[in-house]
Structures are given as structure tokens and as C-alpha cells.
Amino acid sequence: ISLAAVVPAAGVGSRMGLNHPKQYLKIGEKTILEHTLIKLSKVEHINHIYVAVSEDDGYFDGLDLTELNTTRVSGGKERADSVLNALKSMQAHPPEWVLVHDAARPLVDIKDIEKLIVSCLGTGEGGILASKVKDTIKKGDMHIEETVPRDQLWQALTPQLFPYQALLSALDSALNEGAMITDEASAMERVGQPVALVSGRSDNIKITTPEDHALACFLMAQQQK
């Protein structure tokens, strides 16, 4: 199969509050971005990884990514722009499928990635890793308006996997029409394409704040035992 991965890694990490982007923060010996790329490289179906990096990023070229099949491409203003830029950079040699995975999710379980791939390739439809909401969810502003039943609520994770052409056109139209897009699935939903929910581990956290980083250091050490 022809399946390429895109790793959006062009964010500044403002909520982490460092003077460098959070993807270059270390967990043990390696940066978050390296951990993520190593995980994806271990997935047999993934032929190549396109990493969307900010043009003024002075850290990426200093990483040792020999052994890994990666290409640096330019990121964009928002995450969706970064992903779209990466997709456009493959237009000369388009893959059949594209798997998008946040640089900030180095804890993803390789078995979950494989489960997503097998599920989507089996049906021919796109899908995402997601985990069932565990908390009681309240809607409201200063006071509770209602308690939202959680039995049908999922937390969207990455990777998210789609047929390349379908994702390219869905993202392109979403951005052209100024739609709010925080993941690939929302772009596909807008154009009425089915997106499967594939249950994945909830410890596949997106490292966003210093607390997340502390937790990620603990979880990574557990994984590597």
C-alpha cells in the first residue's frame, strides 16, 4: 500500500510557556518530536514521513534523523495550513493514503496506529483514533446550563487517516471558506464524508502544558521498561 505520514510540527507551543517550541522539549534523552518520528517509523505500513516545520525553525536540522525516512516541508499559520502545505508538497507523487499525527503526541501506541490502518484500509474509509470521554461533562458559562450525556462523546486523538485526494480537497475547501478546522476529521465531516471512530488508548495525550510534559515523562519511562 502507498501510505505517507504527515507530522504537523510548526507550532510555537505558547501554552507550554518556553522560549522554544515544545516539540524540542526533551523526554529523557530525546526531543518530543524525535520520539514521535521514531514511533511512526516503527509502523510497517508507513513509507515516508513529511514533517511540517516552521520556515524560521533553527532546531529541526540539528536533529539526528538518519535511519528515518523524513522530509522537511514548510508549515503554515495554523495547524490545518501546515497539514495542507505538507499534502501539497506530495502532489507530484501522491500516496493513496495519508496519516496525520501531531508532533506533540509521542506516547501513541504503535499497536493503535496499526489498528487504525487495518480498519480504514479494510473499509476504504477514513478514520481517527479516539477515546471515550470519561469525565462528567457540563455545558455553560458561569453556571451549568446542562449536563451533557457522555455515552456518545469521544475525545479526538491522532493519528487520523484518510484517502489522500479526499483529504486534500476537503482541507483545501475548508481553508478557502474560512471554516474552523482543528483536526482533519472536521474537514471531512464538513463535506459529508464518513469518518470512523477507532478506539485508542487515552494515554496518547497531546503535550500542551508543563503538567502534560511531566506526565509524558512518567508515561514514556513506563513504556520503555
Report the interface residues with Mg ion, using CB under 5 A.
11
Q: Which of 31, 70, 82, 160 touches ligand CTP (CB under 6 A)?
A: 82
Residue with cell 515523562: 217
Residue 208 interacts with, from ligand CTP, Mg ion, none (CB under 5-8 Å by kind)? ligand CTP
Region binding ligand CTP by CB under 6 A among candidate stretches 11-19, 129-137, 189-197, 214-222:
11-19
Region binding ligand CTP by CB under 6 A among candidate stretches 37-45, 99-107, 128-136, 191-199:
99-107
Residue 167 interacts with, from ligand CTP, Mg ion, none (CB under 5-8 Å by kind)? none
75 binds ligand CTP per the rule CB under 6 A: yes
> Rounded to an integer, what distance in angstroms lies between the CA atom of residue 17 and that of residue 147?
33
> Rounded to an integer, what distance in angstroms lies between the CA atom of residue 188 and that of residue 225?
38
> Rounded to an integer, what distance in angstroms lies between the CA atom of residue 118 and that of residue 6?
18
Torsion of CA 1, 6, 31, 158, to 10 degrees: -90
Q: How many residues bind ligand CTP (CB under 6 A)?
A: 22
Q: How many CB atoms lie within 10 A of CB 211?
A: 9
Q: What one-character-per-residue DSSP string does 89-139 give? A: HTTTS--SEEEE--TT-TT--HHHHHHHHHHHHHHTSEEEEEEE--S-EEE
Instruction: State the nearest-atom distance from the C-beta of 76 to ligand CTP, in Å.
Output: 6
Sign of CA dihedral 69, 73, 75, 79: negative
79 binds ligand CTP per the rule CB under 6 A: yes
Residue 102 interacts with, from Mg ion, ligand CTP, none (CB under 5-8 Å by kind)? ligand CTP
Q: Which of 3, 5, 40, 52 touches ligand CTP (CB under 6 A)?
A: 52
Q: What is the binding site for ligand CTP (CB under 6 A)?
A: 8-15, 22-23, 52, 75-79, 82, 102-104, 206, 208
